[in-house]
């Protein structure tokens, strides 16, 4: 006799990059086991499994190749909260005395923090405007793991979606052409490109916690998934 099938709850959230409403479900026990196993793997394997989990738990309705890295981080964090617990136990280091402070973090308080001055269009010169795309999840993980100037420049270059002049829109070019274009920037122009990444939306949890040894009030900002993973 077949056992009854369990109904999985369905939740809704807004996609940070677009504001569109999407539906998701918690991950199941079998999926959680895969996630736990992946923690012992390299960053490429972790990226693949997290992306696949997000894809499956959003019912394959989203294009994973088009999502910004903070979209996947935000969806995954909400999945983790609904699948395991909204509370995760962390140890924070006091900014003053290095004492280790146990802390219960409420994942529902994590937000996508946006900079009011952020824009996806960069006025490079009076005649040239760049339209940018947000980096993908796997691209950001790669940069975290391999933070080298040449890889950063490659990422910055690859995130140029279109180049506008008064007479033409450039949307088709080789990666070599794009890299040559970026390498011709002045320092000020490159800083404008870099500022797009520094000010783009981020998954953030702000923490205020008093040290039980020296009494210092610690104000910490946790970013990304590494602090909230399992």
**pLDDT at residue 125, as a whole number:** 95
* Among 216, 228, 224, 223, CA closest to 93: 216
Q: Along the 230 residues of the chain, how does pLDDT read in single tens digits?
A: 677 877 889 999 999 999 999 999 999 888 888 888 877 777 778 888 889 999 999 999 999 988 999 999 999 999 999 998 899 888 888 999 999 998 888 988 889 999 999 999 999 999 999 999 999 988 887 766 665 667 788 888 999 999 999 999 999 989 899 999 999 999 999 999 999 999 999 999 888 889 999 999 999 888 877 665 55
**pLDDT at residue 228, as a whole number:** 59
Q: What is the 3-state secondary structure (H, E, C) of 87-130?
A: EEEEEEECCCCCCEEEEEEEHHHCEEECCCCCCCEEECCCCCEE
* Structure token digits, residue 79: 């999945």
Distance CA 40, CA 23 (A): 30
Q: Kindly state the DSSP code that residue 191 receives in the 8-state scheme.
A: H
Distance CA 67, CA 65 (A): 6
How many other C-beta atoms can be found within 10 angstroms of the C-beta atom of residue 194? Answer: 13
Element containing residue 152 per DSSP (H, E): helix 149-158
């Amino acid at each position: 006799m077949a056992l009854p099938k369990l109904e999985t709850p369905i939740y809704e959230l807004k996609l940070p990059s677009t504001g569109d409403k999407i539906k998701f479900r918690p991950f199941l026990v079998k999926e959680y086991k895969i996630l736990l196993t992946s923690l012992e793997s390299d960053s490429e394997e972790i990226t693949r499994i997290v992306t696949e989990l997000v894809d499956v738990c959003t019912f394959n309705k989203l294009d994973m190749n088009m999502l910004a890295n903070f979209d996947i981080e935000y969806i995954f964090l909400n999945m983790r909260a609904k699948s395991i617990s909204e509370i995760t136990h962390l140890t924070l280091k006091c900014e003053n005395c290095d004492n280790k402070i146990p802390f219960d973090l409420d994942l529902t308080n994590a937000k996508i923090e946006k900079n009011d001055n952020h824009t996806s269009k960069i006025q490079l010169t009076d005649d040239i405007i760049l339209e940018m795309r947000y980096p993908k999840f796997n691209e950001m993980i790669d940069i975290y793991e391999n933070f080298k100037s040449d890889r950063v420049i490659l990422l910055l270059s690859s995130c140029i979606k279109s180049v506008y002049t008064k007479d033409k829109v450039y949307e088709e070019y080789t990666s070599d052409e794009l890299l040559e274009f970026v390498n011709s920037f002045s320092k000020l122009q490159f800083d404008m490109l870099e500022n797009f990444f520094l000010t783009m939306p981020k998954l953030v949890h702000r923490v205020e916690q008093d040290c039980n040894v020296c009494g210092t009030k610690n104000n910490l900002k946790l970013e990304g998934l590494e602090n909230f993973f399992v």
